[in-house]
Amino acid sequence: MALIRCRSALFRRALFFRRALPGRGEIISRRMCLTGCCVTAAMTAALPSASPAASPAASPIVSPAVSPTVDGESRTKAEESSADSPRASLREVQARVPRAVDRGREELLRRLDALLKNPAEDYPAGRLALPLAALLKAGADPADEKIGEAFERLASMKIEKTYCAACVLFALDALAKSSGTPEPRAAPRTVVATAKNAGGSVGEDLRARIKALTRWLLEARIAEHGSWTYAKPRKASAHDFSNTQFAVLGLQVGLEHGAEVPAEVFSGLIRLFSGSITREGSPVDASVQLESTLEARLHLTRVAPTLRFRAALGGWGYTDPRRGKGERDAPYPSMTAAGASSLVIALRALSGGGALAASGARAAESRKAVEDGERALQSAYAWISRRFDEYLAGDSDVYYTLYSLEKLGDLAGLERFGDHDWYVEGAAKLLDLQKPNGSWGTYVNTSLALLFLTRANRPLEAVRAPVILTAGGKGEATASKDLVYVERAQGFLSASAVLKYAASKRKPELVPLGEDILRNYAPDAREELVPLLLELWSKPDSLSAFARRALAEVSGEPQGDRQAYARWYEAFTRIRALDADASLTPERLEAELRSTQPHRLKAILAGMALRHGFRSLARALVEQLETPSIECRRSIHGVLSAWTGITLATPARDTQEGWQANAKAWQEWWARDGTEWEAAQLRARASPSKKPP
């Protein structure tokens, strides 16, 4: 047992290093897993496989400055006390956010008219692209006429500013994901120099525009400094960290869609931000917590691990203090989050591209840069944790400040800085600032608020943990059959999201949740779960065993193998298409009824005969009562009763013997009165004024 606990602890620490310290943490992670004899499949399902590190026999280079401890079970006193604090809870925020986003989206869509009629004189492309990105992330229809007009206008605008290039990339990325959703890939989404995983259904014209804007950003980079300024610079001395933040986020979008970015860009960013950070005082104790998994939120497993470390508080201002001290050099909230998120992107991209796997002096230099970058990142985490209240201060700058915080929190996969749940507290602040008309003042502030509330920069993982929707009660009707009320979650979960998540994670503790989904899914639509269950049935484990049981229950075929259930679903989709065919005839439906073998599909076909009013199929339905299936006989009994008005006794108990007796009663009725009943139907059709008996 001690060995198992030790191995489990090593695994948790390895996972944390990969997500919270995305550079050298990749190497430390893999060595921990090898040392503990852990299987890394659970990690690589949600994170990219990194290039092979140095020989596992070698000791990992661990500096005291970047050697955090990870605890997946205990909580600090501050964290425990925060549970009873007056801060807003996740449940309270979730109940308010959907309505706030809807109101904000509608108001921003209304203001889009004014932007189209009177374009801004400064940064026209950026000022149009930012609200477009926010609208699409907030659920606006990409086919909306005004949004289409805005994208046409955007395509005609010349890009001359860094902010504009980045914001247009944000808008194009949002359009790609909302209208031509690419196949999701494992996070992080960055690959140095090439994008091997790029793909999906994004149109080539759209992808070409994204790549062109990525090249524009690369050309606008100040190579000597590794940063950006407002436009393509005429002199190397110009720079600022706000333009750099937007440029790096734009490069992230470009990489996601297959653009090429040289590794030197990211190594330059690491040198820039690790060298320009301003540290304050001596090292202090600090911590950050990884984003909770779905199974942790539902108490199916342990809580997400917390990284504890010691670091001096450090942050960034608007400019690099090494280039001359000024008022804008001192660290402040938005720029500290901006610098940290840029470091996360750069560290992850550099490690993902294999630069850390090289050998020789260049590899040693790269690893040294990564160590410095991770030290800087920890200092920034400590700064944010200790000065978190500054992120909620004020009513004017808070929008950009929280926007920058969202980039960092989601890109790094963090849920808490110290004892602060950054999303819950930030969302509560924005909800309180929303105006009666649904806006947050200017259209820029409204866009930034919507991008925070919708967490627009969440990494596109293979499968994200499903969101729990708590705005409605158990008895409320939901807009989609895919939303299932789960008692243990005290809210609604997307059935498809849960099953995809389970297929990706392969964690046995998710089986009870899958059973909840199956039990509470709309009874008349459970066939829609079959493709997801077939996907889940992929390995010899408990999740595949659950998928097999679920497929047997949904299909009514208890002895099938995976291929048999796949064929069953093919037949089901063919029948569903037949049901929707306006030219369907009684003859076609009867042929399908006689050729179909699965009992549940026969029952569905019987229901189709009733819906389409094909009374001429009564004889065929009586013949199908020979099928030894309770479900099929029950369905045919209902159809014949509706057509004939005859009430035959149904079994007091759902037994084969009882339904066999019911089937025999219908067969006797047909033998006695069936011919006369059919003749009456023919006479009624010949005289439409007469109602069929």
Residues 581 and 537 in one domain: no
Q: Residue 250, exposed/middle/buried by CB under 10 A (0-12, 13-18, 19+)?
A: buried
**Distance linking the first and last C-alpha atoms of the chain:** 75
Q: Residue 46's pLDDT is what? A: 32
SS3 222: strand
Per DSSP, helices labelled H in 180-286 are 204-220, 241-256, 263-276
Do 639 and 610 form a contact (C-beta atoms < 8 A)? yes
Residues 152 and 255 in one domain: yes
Q: What share of the chain is helix, strand, coil (3-state, %, to 5)?
A: 60, 5, 35
CA dist., res. 502 & res. 511, Å (int): 8
**648: which DSSP letter?**
-
CA dist., res. 452 & res. 518, Å (int): 33
Residue 397 falls inside a structural domain: yes
Residues 137 and 210 in one domain: yes
Q: Look at residues 500, 532, 555 and tell me which one is the last residue of a structural domain.
A: 555
Residues 508 and 614 in one domain: no
CATH number at residue 233: 1.50.10
Residues 629 and 488 in one domain: no
Residues 544 and 622 in one domain: no
- What is the pTM for the complete model shown? 0.65
Which residue, chain included where needed, has tokens 């969302």?
427
CA dist., res. 618 & res. 666, Å (int): 11
DSSP sequence for 503-559: HHH--GGGHHHHHHHHHHS-GGGGGGGHHHHHHH--SSSHHHHHHHHHHHHHHS-TT
Residues 512 and 364 in one domain: no
Residue 35 falls inside a structural domain: no
Q: What is the mean pLDDT of each run of 10 residues along the chain (693 residues)?
A: 42 43 46 39 30 27 44 43 55 87 96 90 94 95 94 94 97 84 33 32 80 96 92 76 97 92 93 95 94 73 79 95 77 97 92 51 74 95 97 90 96 93 95 97 97 75 51 41 82 87 90 93 91 94 95 90 94 95 95 94 95 94 91 94 89 85 94 93 76 57
Residues 527 and 620 in one domain: no
Do you know the residue count of the chain?
A: 693
Residue 355 falls inside a structural domain: yes
Q: Which domain holds residue 300?
A: 82-453
Least Cα distance to 139 among 108, 112, 182 occurs for: 108
Residue 217 falls inside a structural domain: yes
Residues 590 and 535 in one domain: no
Q: Look at residues 453, 472, 494 and tell me which one is the last residue of a structural domain.
A: 453
Q: Look at residues 497, 524, 555 and tell me which one is the last residue of a structural domain.
A: 555
Least Cα distance to 209 among 151, 265, 249 occurs for: 151
Q: Parallel, antiparallel, or unpaired for β 491-494 and 278-290?
A: unpaired
Each residue's pLDDT tens digit, 147-180: 999 999 999 999 999 999 999 999 999 999 886 4
Do 502 and 494 form a contact (C-beta atoms < 8 A)? no
Q: Residue 473, exposed/middle/buried by CB under 10 A (0-12, 13-18, 19+)?
A: exposed
Per DSSP, helices labelled H in 277-320 are 294-297
Listed as own residue / partner, the contacts of 578-587 with beta carbons closer than 8 Å and 24 or more positions apart are 578/608, 579/608, 579/611, 584/612, 586/612, 586/614, 586/616, 586/617
Q: Residue 390, exposed/middle/buried by CB under 10 A (0-12, 13-18, 19+)?
A: middle
CA dist., res. 64 & res. 373, Å (int): 14
Residues 104 and 247 in one domain: yes
Residue 199 falls inside a structural domain: yes
CA dist., res. 193 & res. 173, Å (int): 20
CA-based angle 24:27:32, to the nearest 5? 125
Peptide bond into 188 cis (omega under 30): yes
CA dist., res. 121 & res. 211, Å (int): 26
Q: How many domains does the chain have?
A: 3
Residue 207 falls inside a structural domain: yes
DSSP sequence for 340-404: HHHHHHHHHHHHHTTGGG--SHHHHHHHHHHHHHHHHHHHHHHHHHHTGGGGG--SSTHHHHHHH
Residues 547 and 590 in one domain: no
CA-based angle 380:384:387, to the nearest 5? 135
Residue 472 falls inside a structural domain: no
Residue 52 falls inside a structural domain: no
CA-based angle 266:271:275, to the nearest 5? 150
Residues 594 and 547 in one domain: no
CA dist., res. 425 & res. 126, Å (int): 28
Q: Which residues contact 590 (CB under 8 A, 6 or more apart)?
A: 617, 620
Each residue's pLDDT tens digit, 322-337: 876 666 789 999 999 9
